Amino acid sequence: MNTRKRALAATLGGALVAGLAVAGHQATAATPEAEPTMNEAFTEAASEFDVPRDLLVAVGYAETHLDGHKGEPSQDNGFGVMHLVSNPERKTLEQAAGITGESEANLKKNDAANIRGGAAVLRAKADKAGLKASDRKRVEAWYPAVAAYGGAGSASLKRLYADAAYDFVSNGIPAKGTKVRMSPEKVTPERGKLAKAQAPGAGTKSEDYPPAIWNPADPANFNTGRDAAISQVVVHVTQGAYAGTISWFKNPEAEVSAHYVVRSSDGEITQMVRDADTAWHARGGNASAIGIEHEGFVDDPSWFTDAMYRASGALTKHLCDKHGIPKDRAHIVGHNEVPGNDHTDPGPHWNWDTYMGYVNG
């Protein structure tokens, strides 16, 4: 039962109890219906909006690892398991509220409502892409809708986002620590026009760090040049997904950026601001620091993979050698350790011993 129906049932149940009491009958309070498990919420939402259930799970996992983060916003003001966004460029939170009748407050904090909202938005994207009832039965046909759900501006970023979700469709999600089960299904996504888009990882290589992909942030989100010598590396956590973070830094409304972004699953690195320029990532520390964003959320250690630690550690080692930065914790710091900041990343789950081992290895 969806959350709106549950609320209606609870209201009717309360009215019935009150009516019996007025009539002089002894009334027994109805037992409130329990919230559905996350497994049930995905199944119900998928059925209601005719969305492939495991594809819906895969999109949620790609966005948040199925963690609603207690209603706290992501970097680009997205909320909940399905990362419903409300910012000047994207309004999927408002769209979900309009389709489902759920309040925005409930969509932000209630997992079942948020999953229902995500299913509604994904179905709306499918309708806009022209999927018919027969198409909706084929997971591979949903690729354009998934690409649109991510909200990226460029074709290459849309493909990056959708490919990440379809990787989880084909390979499944980790069983350990997840609240939802799905069955991997090898599919060949029908990319349509996006088949010609630049494939993830095939972009221009960085001049500052050749293993990285060069994909520049919008010029409105950083300063050209520096006012001080580079003397620090600042470790960040994106509070969002890799593709979404890259897309956000390319949005002129963001007014934020970092030099590098590291992907959780395989350690892929995208450089978005040249080392010689000033990214906007650490307030007073910007002038002398290089900022590295790591895909994930501070309260969920599942994002901090060995592949990420190794790749970022190698990057930081390179940066320290190149710019003469000592490889110690006085010069390689967390965002939370930069004076004048109120951020908490990389948070308590970041393993500094592991990370510094790779930096100094």
Task: Tell me what percent of the residues of the chain surpass a pLDDT of 70.
Answer: 89
pLDDT of residue 7: 39
**Please, are residues 296 and 303 in contact by the beta-carbon 8 Å criterion?**
yes
The token pair at 299 is 């309260």
Is the pLDDT confidence value at 69 over 90?
A: yes
Quote the radius of gyration of the chain (alpha carbons, Å): 23
Q: Are strands 269-271 and 260-262 parallel, antiparallel or unpaired?
A: antiparallel
Supply the pLDDT for residue 246.
95
Residues 242 and 341: beta-carbon distance below 8 Å: no
CB 93, CB 104: distance < 8 Å: yes
CB of 203 within 8 A of CB of 246?
no
Comparing CA positions, the residue from 185, 136, 135 lying closest to residue 165 is 185
3-state SS, the chain, equals CCHHHHHHHHHHHHHHHHHHHHCCCCCCCCCCCCCCCHHHHHHHHHHHHCCCHHHHHHHHHHHHCCCCHHHCCCCCCEECCCCEECCCCCCHHHHHHHHHCCCHHHHHHCHHHHHHHHHHHHHHHHHHCCCCHHHHCCHHHHHHHHHHHCCCCCHHHHHHHHHHHHHHHHHCCCCCCCCCCCCCCCCCCCCHHHHHCCCCCCCCECCCCCCCEECCCCHHHEECCCCCCCCEEEEEECCECHHHHHHHHCCCCCCCCCCEEECCCCCCEEECCCCCCEECCCHHHHHHEEEEEECECCCCHHHCCHHHHHHHHHHHHHHHHHHCCCCCCCCEEEHHHCCCCCCCCCCCCCCHHHHHHHHCC
pLDDT digits (tens, 9 = 90+) for 158-210: 999 999 999 999 999 987 667 798 989 999 999 999 999 987 667 789 999 99
Contact predicate 85/92, CB 8 Å: yes
pLDDT at 179: 75
Q: Is 22's pLDDT higher than 90?
A: no
When pLDDT is cut at 50, 70 and 90, the band that residue 99 belongs to is very high
Query: What residue has token string 């000047």?
Result: 88
- Strands 78-79 and 84-85, by their bridges, are antiparallel
Q: Which CATH class is domain 35-196?
A: mainly alpha
Question: Where residue 33 falls among pLDDT bands split at 50, 70, 90?
Answer: low
- pLDDT at 11 (0 to 100): 34
pLDDT of residue 203: 74
* Mean pLDDT, residues 58-71 taken together: 95
6-15, 72-81, 122-131, 304-313: least confidently modelled range: 6-15
Q: What is the pLDDT of residue 201?
A: 67
pLDDT tens, residue by residue, 205-260: 999 999 999 999 999 999 999 999 999 999 999 999 999 999 999 999 999 999 99
Checking if the pLDDT of 24 tops 80, the result is: no
Distant-in-sequence, close-in-space partners of 201: CB < 8 Å, separation ≥ 6: 213, 268
Predicted confidence (pLDDT) per residue in 38-61, tens digit: 999 999 999 999 999 999 999 999
How sure is the predictor about 145, in pLDDT bands with cuts at 50, 70 and 90? Answer: very high
Report residue 5 CA to chain centroid gap. Answer: 29
Quote the pLDDT of residue 21: 35
Q: What value does the mean pLDDT take over residues 30-45?
A: 81
pLDDT, residue 202, reads 73
Fold exhibited by the domain 213-359: Lysozyme-like (3.40.80)
Mean pLDDT of the residues in the chain:
90
